[in-house]
């Protein structure tokens, strides 16, 4: 009797073990900043400080899996293609790095910056879209407002909608396209800063 139970138990475990063995590995990704070499300046040259944030992203993107658009207003959530860190944190770091390279005379601080003291200006960013349709397009749509921290008045604001065509359906190509979109958005923000 014991032999029958053990044989039956093994027969049940074998398909379970083989199913686990065939699970594909999970791939992790990060967005990358501009690849330019930063300009090093003496600290005395860097005068103004600009705070970046708060930054908002659609709540759909507040997950570790990469989300892509699909037909009929649906989305695909890639279980085996995930962000290596929270997407909102990665986006903020990329924007700070890009802006620091684009404006080397400015010190950029990420919200909340109170540990570093005060800033001259604050840039509030609302990212409405940051998504891709595998093999078709990558999109970013965002609004921003630049506020004078002394007077608490908005001195400029804007809207950007950028789209790149994709021919590659791979996730590395998708992540690279999103990095490029953030780089272009950073350039638009840089031009809007006082």
Q: For the chain, which domains are there?
A: 47-192 (3.40.50.10610)
- Looking at the DSSP bridge assignments, the partners of residue 77 are 67
* Selection from 85, 80, 95, 93 nearest residue 63 by Cα: 85
Choose the weakest-confidence range: 19-23, 169-173, 190-194: 19-23
155 close to 50: Cβ distance less than 8 angstroms? no
Per residue in 118-158, pLDDT (tens digit) is: 999 999 999 999 999 999 999 999 999 999 999 999 999 99
Distance in angstroms (rounded) separating the CA atoms of residues 183 and 7: 60
pLDDT of amino acid 60 = 94
Q: Does the predicted model carry a pTM greater than 0.85?
A: no
């Amino acid at each position: 009797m014991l032999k029958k139970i053990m044989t039956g138990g093994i027969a049940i475990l074998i398909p379970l073990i083989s199913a686990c063995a065939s699970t594909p590995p999970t791939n992790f990704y990060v967005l990358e900043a501009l690849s330019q070499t930063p300009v090093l300046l003496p600290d005395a040259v860097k005068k103004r400080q600009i705070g970046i944030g708060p930054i908002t992203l659609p709540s759909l993107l507040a997950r570790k899996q990469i989300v892509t658009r699909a037909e009929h207003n649906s989305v695909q959530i890639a279980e085996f293609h995930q962000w290596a860190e929270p997407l909102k944190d990665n986006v903020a770091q990329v924007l700070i790095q890009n802006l620091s390279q684009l404006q080397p005379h400015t010190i950029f601080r990420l919200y909340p910056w109170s540990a570093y003291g005060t800033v001259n200006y604050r840039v509030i960013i609302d990212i409405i879209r940051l998504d891709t349709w595998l093999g078709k397009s990558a999109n970013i749509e965002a609004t921003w407002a630049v506020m004078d921290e002394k007077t608490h008045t908005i001195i400029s604001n804007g809207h950007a909608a950028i789209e790149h065509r994709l021919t590659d359906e791979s996730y590395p190509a998708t992540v690279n396209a999103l990095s490029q979109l953030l780089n272009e958005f950073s350039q638009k923000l840089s031009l809007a800063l006082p």
